[in-house]
Structure 1
Amino acid sequence: MRDTTLYRKALLDRLGELDSRLHHIETELDEPHSKDWEENAVEREGDEVLEQLGHSGEAEIARIRAALQRMRDGTYGECVRCGEEIAEARLETLPDTPLCRTCAAGA
């Protein structure tokens, strides 16, 4: 069985970063808009970017939570598609990945 201590720490650290970023995004989106039409248009474009960043962050949080659940289940590091072991180098780069390189390439 693989030692997941370092991966768990990396995932929890990233989860904390994302949580902080999402709270910041929510705060920014709650700010009132300018009454000036041109400024309002620019602010709305900025809001769209922030919303997209928020959605990306939420998706990453879901992947991290799933990886942490796999750790609790004892299946972390096993490809959820084919069951093969995920390479150490891949986990070091993408600790939340559920797929081995082969399955990810075919996804």
Structure 2
Amino acid sequence: MVDQAHREKQLTERLTVLEGRLHRIETHLEQPADKDWEENATASEMDEVLDELGHAGNAEVQAIHAALERLKSGTYGTCTRCAGQISEKRLDALPHASLCMACAREVAEKR
């Protein structure tokens, strides 16, 4: 049985952490470029990494919002693909999971 209050707390705490991290990434990426060419090259590489982290963070934020909606609608813990139950173990590891392990594996294999 899913403890909804516990899951909601987990999800909202993670959301707060991610939003703070994304804000810091955005602030860094908005900084003006350094005039030193070598510094710019290093900063450019770092910006690429931060940009990728930002994309991953935004995807996780969307997944968390979707999980919070599933909590509200009473469908949290149900696989959005096969309508089977998502294991507690999986939800412990990935509270915003929308797929059971079998469906997640199938989707990953198709990529």
TM norm. shorter chain > 0.5: yes
1:35-46 equivalences under 5 Å are 35-46=35-46
Letter in 2 for 1:74: G
**Secondary structure of the structure 1 residue equivalent to 2:43:** helix
1:1-107 equivalences under 5 Å are 2-107=2-107
Counting matched residue pairs gives 107
**Structure 1 residue 105: Cα displacement:** 1.0
- CA–CA separation in structure 2 for the residues paired with 1:34 and 1:88: 49
Percent of aligned pairs sharing the same letter: 51
Q: Deviations over 1:54-91 (max 9, x none)?
A: 10000000000000010111100000111111111111
**Structure 1 residue 3: Cα displacement:** 2.6
Query: How does the TM-score come out when normalised to structure 1?
Result: 0.95
**Structure 1 residue 4: Cα displacement:** 1.1
Letter in 1 for 2:70: R
Q: Which stretches in structure 1 are left out of the alignment for 5+ residues?
A: none
Note if contact 2:2-2:88 (Cα within 8 Å) is conserved in structure 1: no
**Structure 1 residue 33: Cα displacement:** 1.4
Q: Which stretches in structure 2 are left out of the alignment for 5+ residues?
A: none
- CA–CA separation in structure 2 for the residues paired with 1:64 and 1:102: 21
Note if contact 2:81-2:103 (Cα within 8 Å) is conserved in structure 1: yes
**Structure 1 residue 2: Cα displacement:** 3.4
Stretches (4+) displaced over 3 A: none
Letter in 1 for 2:26: E
Query: How does the TM-score come out when normalised to structure 2?
Result: 0.92
